[in-house]
Amino acid sequence: MKKTINYITELTGIPSPTGYTKNVMNYLADEIEQLGYSVTKANKGGVNVTVRGKDDSKHRVITAHVDTLGAIVRAIKYDGRLKLDKIGGYPWNMIEGENCLVHIASNNKTVSGTILVHQTSCHVYREAGTVERTQDNMEVRLDEKVKNAEQTRALGIEVGDFISFDPRTIVTETGFVKSRFLDDKVSAAILLDLLRKYKEEKIELPYTTHFMFSCFEEVGHGANSSIPKEAVEYLAVDMGAIGDDQQTDEYTVSICVKDASGPYHYEFRQHLVALAKEKNIPFKLDIYPFYGSDASSAMRAGAEVKHALLGAGIESSHSYERTHIDSIKATYDMVDEYLRSSLVK
């Protein structure tokens, strides 16, 4: 798992809110090419690699996404602070107090800051603890000497500049990985490390497989414009959601039965369950009630494939997330066994 964990820390360290993903996609392309593969870049930014298998008549697609939650400058306020608009889905309280970077389009520089509610000081605002966190009162306090909108604009900042959040990635001695954006950079790291393994160990997969790293999953359309006509199976490797009434935990691989888009393909799910049992891979079946994936968006787009979803269990999704190396390993093993298995019957 050492290489997988290294990939996770490297990926989380590259800011990549949806729409601002060029740097992370270049990192992926460079890493994959250094492994000896040929990379194709999709027009909208995705990185794809095709691994030829023994059978080239029927193909598999496997995806992970590296775009993340983030924000964009909505307005520059009279006092020089910034109003935000969300990228991706999360409540405002999930980012309150977070350090951030403003990526300035006009000069390619960054300015650091902190995301706060306007009524932060409890010595001034009686309602500091109870005021509703909304777009109207959440703001970025810039780490620059600015007191008005003109001074902020003089830095080059303008409406439309992207804002990324500090990932704060930590790997503990007890095996926990804490960071923003484990959704879905854990999965991307797993796919990247499997590509390394297959190349170094000269492993030939039974079917031609397309590894797709997408950069628009958080806004709903993912990698699905690049699905080859030969594809018959589509596996999204994303995150397992943890909470009340959920079986998913931080120590197993979570196999999704259903999310907000509806049930996943039954036979595909049972194929994964059978593999997990046969190979003694710890797993949990679960429903993610407020969730969608690249696989579900592929179905909405009309892809004629069997679709499934699995991933590591991620605590506090879309906030400051956490998982454990046990869950990462179980997910790695599950994906590996699936890619070496026969087609779903």
Do the beta carbons of residue 91 and residue 133 sit within 8 Å?
A: yes
Q: Give Dmax over CA atoms of the chain in angstroms.
A: 69
The catalytic residue among 98, 139, 217, 233 is: 217
What amino acid is encoded at 79 in this protein?
D
221 among annotated binding-site residues:
no
65 among annotated binding-site residues:
yes
For residue 318, what are its two tokens? 């879309």
218 among annotated binding-site residues:
yes
Peptide bond between residue 184 and the one before it cis (omega within 30 degrees of 0): yes
Quickly count: other Cβ atoms within 10 Å of residue 257's Cβ: 16
Q: Would residue 217 show up in a list of annotated catalytic residues for this protein?
A: yes
Q: Give CA–CA dist 40/182, Å, rounded.
A: 25
Do the beta carbons of residue 218 and residue 69 sit within 8 Å?
A: yes
Bridge partners, 263 (sequence order): 258
Q: What letters, b where the CB count within 10 A reaches 16 and e where it falls short, cover 139-163?
A: bbbbeeebeebebbeebebeeebbb
Q: Which residues contact 132 (CB under 8 A, 6 or more apart)?
A: none
For residue 172, what are its two tokens? 């503990």
**Catalytic annotation, residues:** 217
Annotated binding site: 65, 183, 218, 238, 318
Known binding positions for Zn(2+): 65, 183, 218, 238, 318
